[in-house]
Amino acid sequence: MQIPRFLQPIPHGSSPPKIQPVPPERIGILLVDDEPALRHLLGAVLSDEGYYVVEAGNAEEAIEASRAAERIDLVVTDVRMPKMDGIKMVAKLRESNPDLRAIFVTGYAVDDLSRLGPNTCLLNKPFLRRSLIDLVHRFAAGVP
């Protein structure tokens, strides 16, 4: 019996894989979270659903990864991250892609939801796997 991908250990000290452009027939998701175990788990869940997932550990990595991927259809990001939060990061990504859809994930209260911008929603931690998948399916289809 093989261990599910999301339960396999995360390699430490290895360089991240080179990001390839999102294939035209796939939906590209930029997944950003500074917690590697959670990012790895969510990435495995979304990949298993058929999405092309590009992972990043912080906002700076995410901006670079989005360039390398050439096309991102949806961002799933933690709100609170060191240096630049997810809200500012998505605003920066929207400079080149104004219609970018985003799902913000947080375990904290967000006082002003208008800060999230258009085509967004908030998913509070903890959440069920099915809740994430349903939201991603809806947003990937262009229905915020």
Q: Compute the average pLDDT of residues 103-107.
A: 93
Query: Each residue of 6-29: pLDDT tens digit?
Result: 555 555 444 455 788 898 999 999
Distance CA 116, CA 36 (A): 24
**Domain ranges within the chain, ordered by starting residue:** 25-140
Residue 74 belongs to what H/E stretch? strand 74-78
Cβ contact 83:58 at 8 Å: yes
Poorest-pLDDT segment among 28-32, 40-44, 54-58, 104-108: 104-108
In CATH, the architecture of 25-140 is 3-Layer(aba) Sandwich (3.40)
Q: Which pTM was predicted?
A: 0.86
Distance CA 21, CA 68 (A): 6
